[in-house]
Structure 1
Amino acid sequence: MPQKRRYTNRRPVRRRSSKKNNTTFILLAIVAVFVISFFGYRRYVQYRSETQVEMVQQERNQFVKKIAPYAVELGKEYGVLPSITIAQAILESDWGTSSLASQYNNYFGIKGDDPSNTKVLQTKEYTNGQWITINGRFRVYSDFRESMKDHTKLLVNGTTWNPQQYKQVLQSKDYIEAAVALQSDGYATDPGYTTKIIRIIQKYNLKKYDQGIK
């Protein structure tokens, strides 16, 4: 007797679209690339910043090493604290990078009158409670040591109108007292000059060069 065919009520199996899977994979890949790139870029920026800071620090250390020995030599001969000389050179010349320092070896903004050994440049001075830009005639030196010695002699011999002008600076027993004396004796017009000098000396440990001077 012939058998009846059995029919099942099975539904056909639907296959998942591979297109959706590919889209998800691509999105995940894009996100991964973005994350890696973002953190890689941040690391690169950080590395570059750290490298620049290190380079600046090395240049500043080299500047101090360049002028410190002669500052000590002048200190022993004339009694001016080397830390004061070095700090003033740093502040006045912007670590030897100013035009006056890099082109004319004038590390202290020393002015002159003789056109044969001076150069007219713009400078800022603090007058009547505000900073103004003026033209000044500044000394030109063949070597930075000439500038340092001229600066030391200025403190020792004073000005043409007052030979004792920087007497308190010379009599100071430490860099703090000397920095205060520079301001009170009228060396600079900047009202924050004393604070800046003290901060530079402390930050770069310039006090160590004063040993045996006083």
Structure 2
Amino acid sequence: MSMKKQFALFSTLLLLGSSMPVGAFAEGNNLVAENSSVAETTAEATTAEATETTATSETTEATEESTTETESSTEPSESTTTESTETSGTETTDSTTDSTSTSTTESTTDSTSTSTTESTTDSTSTSTTESSTTPTTTPSSSKEQPKPGTSTSESKQPAKPVTPTAPAEKPVEQPAASTPQPEIVPPVTNATVGLVEDDETFTVSKTKKTEEFIQEIGESARKVAKDKNLYASVMIAQAILESGSGNSKLSQKPNYNLFGIKGDYKGQSVSFITYEDNGFGNLYTVEAKFRQYPTYKESMEDYAKLLKNGLDSNKDFYHGVWKTEAKSYKEATRFLTGKYATDKDYHKKLNALIKTYDLTYYDKEKATVEPMESNFPAYNGKNYDTFNSYAWGNCTQYVYNRITQLGKRVDLTMGNGQDWGETGRARGYKVSRTPKAGAAVSFPAGVLGADNTYGHVAFVEKVFKDGSILISEMNVKGLNIVSTRTISADETHLMNYIVPKDK
């Protein structure tokens, strides 16, 4: 070596010796070595513990990075070595003591914190501590890519299966319970029962439906009215008007309420929306509970009881309809207006129905008609016309029933009273102008009081020696009323006589 080179080397050594004492450098090297040994031991413990507790790959990577950085710290710059020496001088003993007397987690945290920079210490300390307490570690915020040659399969744990979460079930909305609405009952109009108003007076056009309805309830009304001192004619007329001749929903099965009485009958009722008159001819609707009866009979009995016993607050409320108080049915109907019904014309309508259908017949006691000196048994009152082919309570049905009662036969389709002669001839019946007992006698329209449109038909009860005849007939004095009269010999030739056939 030349002299010049030796001088340069000596100058360099002298310069280094003046800047750092040799003893301190040696001590620093020993501390660095010791720190490096502790760091390596700690890193190995950390790696083993992370493996045992199934730490995630991010923790392992952070620990390996920490180990690498710690090892590389043996060749720091001058300033870094000095800082490491000052920090380690204080914490190395604690680290060693903690390793032997406390948990590995604390030892690992302390020693690792000593050997890494601030950012590395934070990430490693957090990751290592959590891996010691819970199976799942929180990934470091300073996650780095794995170094080449590092086995990913050894550090990463298999992904846990994700348990599918059932979608939240939306509760099934149940439809709101609907409250049954009462049925609306249309009002009974005048036309329903054949009422025609003319200058505040009413007339009635007869209908077959109303006649059949009267036949159905007539005798029951007669009996109930007699027992309760009432007018049967008024009772029947009210039933016709209130129920529309039995056509209203309230009057039909299973309700059988003929008179629109509200409340309940022995606990039975039905709700309806009905129309009522405000007293001035204007209708309005009202929902109410109405009594429900097992048959028409109970309906009429309950009606009669109401009129006889009145209201709880006034027992004499309906006293004006009693026979002992009202001298005629017209007085009774007048009293009902404004009390039983708000319709100001209520009495007029009832009176028209009573007159047209001769309902006063039911105000009298029923009597069996037995023609004087008749050649036949008395009429039994039975209706053999099951389907009412002839109008109930009229002359045609009566003659059919009378002939059938006596064991003979006549057709159900002979026509109106004046038609029986022509129909009989066309069908092979024996028809003549000579009267014969047991024959039907047909009156032309307008003859001897016969109807001007339909004529009339009667039954010959007896032929007298002078040629006069005794006949029985119906609906001359009223609907369904049987009466008798004698036709003089001079008038018998005006009619046709139809001899019934044998059965």
For normalisation by structure 2, the TM-score amounts to 0.30
Measured after TM superposition, the shift of residue 111 of structure 1 is 0.5
SS at match of 1:121: strand
Alignment of 1:60-99 (within 5 A): 60-99=210-249
The residue type paired with residue 216 of structure 2 is K
Q: Quick one: which of 202, 207, 211 aligns to 2:360?
A: 207
Q: Specify whether residues 138 and 79 from structure 1 end up closer, same or farther in structure 2 by C-alpha distance, changes over 3 A only.
A: same
* 2:326 corresponding residue in structure 1: 172
SS at match of 1:59: helix
Matched-pair contact (CA < 8 Å) for 2:264–2:292: no
Q: Quick one: which of 193, 200, 208 aligns to 2:346?
A: 193
Q: Specify whether residues 93 and 161 from structure 1 end up closer, same or farther in structure 2 by C-alpha distance, changes over 3 A only.
A: same
* 1:148 corresponding residue in structure 2: 300
Q: Specify whether residues 112 and 93 from structure 1 end up closer, same or farther in structure 2 by C-alpha distance, changes over 3 A only.
A: same
Provide the C-alpha distance between the structure 2 equivalents of 1:114 and 1:90, rounded to a whole number of angstroms.
21
Unpaired runs of at least 5, structure 2: 1-205, 367-503
Q: Quick one: which of 263, 276, 279 aligns to 1:112?
A: 263
Equivalences, count:
157
Measured after TM superposition, the shift of residue 57 of structure 1 is 2.9
* 2:150 corresponding residue in structure 1: none
The structure with higher relative contact order (CA 8 Å, sep 6+) is 1
Provide the C-alpha distance between the structure 2 equivalents of 1:128 and 1:136, rounded to a whole number of angstroms.
19
For normalisation by structure 1, the TM-score amounts to 0.69
Q: Matched residues, percent identical?
A: 36
Q: Specify whether residues 71 and 126 from structure 1 end up closer, same or farther in structure 2 by C-alpha distance, changes over 3 A only.
A: same
Which string of whole-angstrom CA distances, capped at 9 and with x for unpartnered residues, describes residues 79-125 of structure 1? 11100010000000000010000131000001105794111101112
Matched-pair contact (CA < 8 Å) for 2:274–2:286: yes
Unpaired runs of at least 5, structure 1: 1-55
Matched-pair contact (CA < 8 Å) for 2:337–2:346: yes
Computing the radius of gyration over CA atoms, which structure comes out larger, 1 or 2? 2
Which string of whole-angstrom CA distances, capped at 9 and with x for unpartnered residues, describes residues 115-171 of structure 1? 941111011122264321111110011101100000000000001221100111112
Q: Specify whether residues 147 and 114 from structure 1 end up closer, same or farther in structure 2 by C-alpha distance, changes over 3 A only.
A: closer
Q: Are residues 1:161 and 2:313 paired?
A: yes
Provide the C-alpha distance between the structure 1 equivalents of 2:231 and 2:297, rounded to a whole number of angstroms.
16
The residue type paired with residue 297 of structure 2 is R
Which string of whole-angstrom CA distances, capped at 9 and with x for unpartnered residues, describes residues 24-48 of structure 1? xxxxxxxxxxxxxxxxxxxxxxxxx
The residue type paired with residue 132 of structure 1 is Y
Provide the C-alpha distance between the structure 1 equivalents of 2:266 and 2:229, rounded to a whole number of angstroms.
31
SS at match of 1:99: coil
* 1:102 corresponding residue in structure 2: 252
Runs of 4+ with deviation above 4 angstroms? 113-116
Matched-pair contact (CA < 8 Å) for 2:333–2:350: yes
Provide the C-alpha distance between the structure 1 equivalents of 2:350 and 2:344, rounded to a whole number of angstroms.
12
Higher relative helix content: 1
Q: Specify whether residues 65 and 119 from structure 1 end up closer, same or farther in structure 2 by C-alpha distance, changes over 3 A only.
A: same
Aligned-pair RMSD on alpha carbons?
A: 2.0
